[in-house]
A and B are shown apart, each in its own frame.
Chain A
């Protein structure tokens, strides 16, 4: 517990960046990173739920009996996921359409329950907020970078605008499921090579 709030925040961006280091939350990582927008949208939705659930879990950590803590965490997480789902439908409907079933599925994302159990239930509100924000932003960055690689090579566009000349033939493999696995594998490999030193 000697770490500062800043350290708790920063660790989510590199040392514990969820999909690459902890290899958690792979379902949305693989499924919704066809484009940069989808990746960022998913990351932001997850960040919102993560920050809110971390704060609430941490604030209630002394009230929740340990035997029913998982059930309580899931209620908290599910509530915020539904909030996000309703808000996205009301305000960013096209994004909601392209993310589809993966928005309600945030509730079973290991990162959320993992952070609630491993961090928020043992630490104070401010630390939990920093932890949630850091992990959430790290997750968003990971999804965005994976989305960027897949979109650029798979559709020849970045954020919807073409980046190559008309002679470029999109590498359709990249936006399908196998492309996601290959891409994630290569990124994990790069992360490990860089981090090894």
Chain B
């Protein structure tokens, strides 16, 4: 009986201690991890979209509730005006979800640029969606609120040769981005009216050393 109590006590104390340690460590590193994820996963696509912006879009961001999910929006400052945002949408590819960062101008509703953030497509085939800049470049300048389809399906998107499933996934992701934008545009405009940039142009990554 004494042994049983000892076993329970030792394991409980050990678990409680490790739980407490991990919880506090998690709290301590949360912001840093979020920033690192932004910088290395979404960062390249965001900075590419907002090339030449006067602010740091990775720092100037906010969240808007869209039904049950919270979406992050990144704000770009051009000519002293805050009228461009970028956000992420997903399309189903061959090897899983393809993450797309879509930049849009709120005045014209036109696409500023598109970048692929995450994908797990076949290397050398579907992965060209990310490595071939010409593929996503074709979206720039188009109106966002339309249905995107690849040309083989009677649409306007030039597919990657040999990677139709990936191209369809990207087109579906773009269509979804249009729907998100349509849904949230009023909220976005309201938010941008009161939004102010946190920092003047800083070198990428300086914020968190």
Contact = CB atoms under 8 A, between A and B. Distances in A.
A165 interface: no
Interface in B23-73: 25-26, 29, 32-33, 36-37, 39-41
Interface of A: 63-65, 67-68, 71-72, 75-76, 78-79, 82-83, 86-87, 89-91, 93-94, 97
22 contacts: A65-B3, A65-B7, A68-B11, A71-B11, A72-B10, A75-B14, A75-B15, A78-B18, A79-B22, A82-B25, A83-B21, A83-B25, A86-B22, A86-B25, A86-B26, A86-B29, A87-B25, A89-B37, A90-B32, A91-B32, A93-B36, A93-B40
A64 B11 CA distance: 8
A65 B36 CA distance: 42
Contacts of B18: 75-76, 78-79
A72 B39 CA distance: 38
A75 B11 contact: yes
B203 interface: no
Nearest to A56: B14
A93 B39 contact: yes
**Which applies to chain A's interface (DSSP): helix, strand, loop or mixed?**
helix
Nearest to A93: B36
Interface size class of B (residues with CB under 8 A): 20 to 34
A40 B206 CA distance: 27
Interface of B: 3, 6-7, 10-11, 14-15, 18, 21-22, 25-26, 29, 32-33, 36-37, 39-41
B5 to A, nearest CB: 10
B51 to A, nearest CB: 22
B83 to A, nearest CB: 31
Nearest to B40: A93
Q: Which 4 residue pairs across A and B have the least CB separation, nearest first?
A: A79-B18, A93-B36, A90-B29, A90-B32
Contact of A79 (B10, B21, B33, B37): B21
B33 A90 contact: yes
A79 to B, nearest CB: 4
Contacts of B15: 75
Nearest to A75: B14
